[in-house]
Amino acid sequence: MRFSALLLVGVLATASASVLRMYSRTANGQKVEPFWPEAPAGGVSVAHFWDKIPWEVVAGNALGAVLGGSAGALAGNAEAIKSPMYGGIAGGVAGFIAGGVVAYSPFGEPREEPEAAWGKSTEEPKVEEEETKKPKITTEELPQPAITKMQHQAELAVALSNYEEQQATDKGDKKEAKEEAHAEKKAVKALQDISENIEKREKTGKKPATADSQKDFENVQEVLAEGDTAEMISAESALANDAAVTANDLARVAGGGKGKRFRGEDVGPGKGVKSYQGDMIARSEKSKKQLKLFESFTEGSQAPKKLEDLWEEEKLEEPKGAKQIAAGAPFPKGKINYCFASDVSETVKKIFRAATDQYKRAVPSCLTFEDVGWKKGKSDSEEQDQLCKKSPAIFVQSDANRGCFSEIGFQEGMDVQRLQLQDPGCMSVGTAVHELGHALGMAHEQARPDRDQHVKIHFNNIPEDMRDNFAKDKKGYTGQKYDLLSVMHYDRFAFAQDETKPTIDFLGIGANEGLGQRIGLSKFDVGQVVAMYKEENKQCKGSELAGMGCVDKPNKLGKDVCKGRTECNAEGINKCCACGGGAALQCYKGQHCPKPKKMLRMDPKECLVESTALFAGRGLKCVYQNECSFPVSFKCSGGCENVADPQSYSSTKCNGKEVTDVCMAKDKCTFSILKDKKGCPKECLACKPGAVWNGGKALSDNKCKHSCSRPFGASRYCGGGKVYGGDGSVDCTGCK
């Protein structure tokens, strides 16, 4: 009986307290705070203490005590307790405790964590939300200075001639070894001269004329034309080496300084000879009609003429299939005879032969080239006075006033067809490859019907009478992907009215480093040649590529700084294959392809190098280059986290203020390699062409088996953490 009475007391007290608590919460709409919050140091006022009393708990205690006491008194009449007084006391105590506990924290409702303190209101404070200020980052990617491309080409020439010398020595070919040693010496001298010009710029803050290095540049071209060297160079390898010299760079070299440019491909043949797109001409009747089919006007003040009307005017049958492959006819059976005008220099001869070597290496089963010997004629002779010992043949000339041009495709019925390389103005292996491409039948890449999906033409910077040079061929070949790296593409400033502003821009993010490169064939150029000549030669196919090899680059004095190296500093990162630097070279299946045996670890801090002096006159306080082959993330005193893309030149602002620590106080910055969760770089640019990214470890680790390529800044086409697949595309189809 006694136990039952006490149980009844507790139940009644708990129920009553719960009812009171629910009423209190409903009426006030407030949460309960702890009774004894931490007191402030300044003491407590009576009024404040009064405000802090948890009245619902007090009420719960009181009600519990009354009900419990009453129930206890009634139960005290029972024989088991024998005293109403004792029963009331016991019931009151039990009710007081139960009522307070339930009022403070009822069953099923979580207790609030203490937040209030002495001196603070029990009501939730109304705090005005402040917008979180995130650091604002703006990064400008700057175009690579032409003089540094020339420097990298000179380094490449030294590295490749040294490699060829070693190969010849190993084979016991003393004659070739001697020739390569001589070539290396010439390249070292050019490298020293170009490096001195760059150092002058760094010391004085003034830009020396690019033309000051013209002779050195021509010497480098001679070295790159020696022996097998030209065969190891492609558009992709040039871009990997930061040596993608463009037609615009060549124009500046030949311009004589003070911002002047001599654009050999834009000059035209003169002497009343009609040309198409600057450097394409035709003399045979069939070729003339073929060119007319391409002559549709571009956007501008003149009304466009439909290509279909031109077909009708000429009364010619359309080629089979929806698209044509070439702008001119292919040479029968892919056999090309050639000779040189009597006054052509040895330099021009070397450069042209190097161009033929590139084609022979890329498509050995498609084309054959033979120097059949000169019979009569100089570079400025009339057409009828130029002749090779065999016909038909290409007559290579070097008239001092006629720029660069070629007759387009095989000129049926003609004994010779001309290919012009002005000296100076057209003195690069890539320019000879370009003009020889026209002779073989190739059109300009930007004349393709799909070009507006990839580049934008700025017609407002093109003289009205020159706009037809940007005509699109609606029947042009699109069997290969649009190739921004094609040796047949115009450069950014072709036919510019204001030569400081572009006429062509890539429709994407980043600098247009490879547009209009004049180094050599790209993989898609090779694909088009195969498509053009497989009807002439059923065995025609391109050589199978085997990725990129690497040879160490010398320092500016031509000395090896990589042998015996155990760690990678800034110099090693730029020069040494084991540090991710060195000179990339194109490898083919069945050919020896030099590669480092192991990779050395590198500090990403060493990747970023100050290059402000290269951009003198632009008012920038800090320009940095990431010389590594992977993206580097860095954060300096401004608090902004920046990402430096591989090989790029950049200037960055953090909250509107130029970031200078990365140039002047690297110790104030933190650096890291940008990777994804798998340890792979977030962007494809983390890999050099043909290389396998491995997180900085040995190549054999194959941590990330993505064979990356870097044509024209490939990762900028991808994004979202995707990795570029290395097929040379620019539309993300290569992103994995």
Q: Which residues are catalytic?
A: 435
What's the CA gap between 609 and 687, in Å, rounded?
19
User: Nearest to residue 638, comparing CAs of 617, 616, 622?
Assistant: 622
What's the CA gap between 354 and 715, in Å, rounded?
32
What's the CA gap between 82 and 69, in Å, rounded?
15
Give the 3-state secondary structure of residue 685.
helix
- Non-local (6+) Cβ contacts of 701 within 8 A are 694, 695
Residue 382: how many CB atoms within 10 A of its CB?
Answer: 8
* HSE, side-chain direction, 13 A CA sphere, residue 75: 25
Give the 3-state secondary structure of residue 543.
coil
What's the CA gap between 125 and 363, in Å, rounded?
78
Provide the CA 189 distance to its chain's centre, in angstroms: 32
For residues 191 and 243, is the Cβ–Cβ distance under 8 A?
no
What's the CA gap between 663 and 644, in Å, rounded?
13
Give the 3-state secondary structure of residue 569.
coil
Element (H, E) at 280: strand 280-281
For residues 62 and 7, is the Cβ–Cβ distance under 8 A?
no
Helical axes 174-204 vs 146-171, angle rounded to 10°:
160
State phi, psi for 395 to the nearest 5 degrees: -100, 105
* HSE, side-chain direction, 13 A CA sphere, residue 520: 30
The owner of tokens 């140039």 is: 663
State the Rg of the chain over Cα: 40
Helix and strand numbers, DSSP H then E, in the chain: 17, 20
Cα-based distances in Å from 427 to 243, 331, 352, 368: 16, 25, 10, 23
For residues 54 and 35, is the Cβ–Cβ distance under 8 A?
yes
The owner of tokens 């571009």 is: 298
For residues 505 and 458, is the Cβ–Cβ distance under 8 A?
yes
- Non-local (6+) Cβ contacts of 361 within 8 A are 230, 231, 543, 588
Give the 3-state secondary structure of residue 39.
coil
What's the CA gap between 346 and 56, in Å, rounded?
106
Cα-based distances in Å from 696 to 130, 438, 601, 634: 43, 43, 6, 18
User: Nearest to residue 198, comparing CAs of 183, 222, 216?
Assistant: 216
What's the CA gap between 711 and 523, in Å, rounded?
10
- Non-local (6+) Cβ contacts of 534 within 8 A are 366, 540, 541
Give the 3-state secondary structure of residue 137.
strand
Query: Which two tokens mark 31?
Result: 């949460």
Residue 288: how many CB atoms within 10 A of its CB?
Answer: 16
Cα-based distances in Å from 728 to 606, 694, 724: 29, 21, 9
Residue 407: how many CB atoms within 10 A of its CB?
Answer: 26
Query: Which two tokens mark 377?
Result: 């004629």
DSSP characters over 486-511: -TTS--TTTT-SSTTS-SEEESSSS-
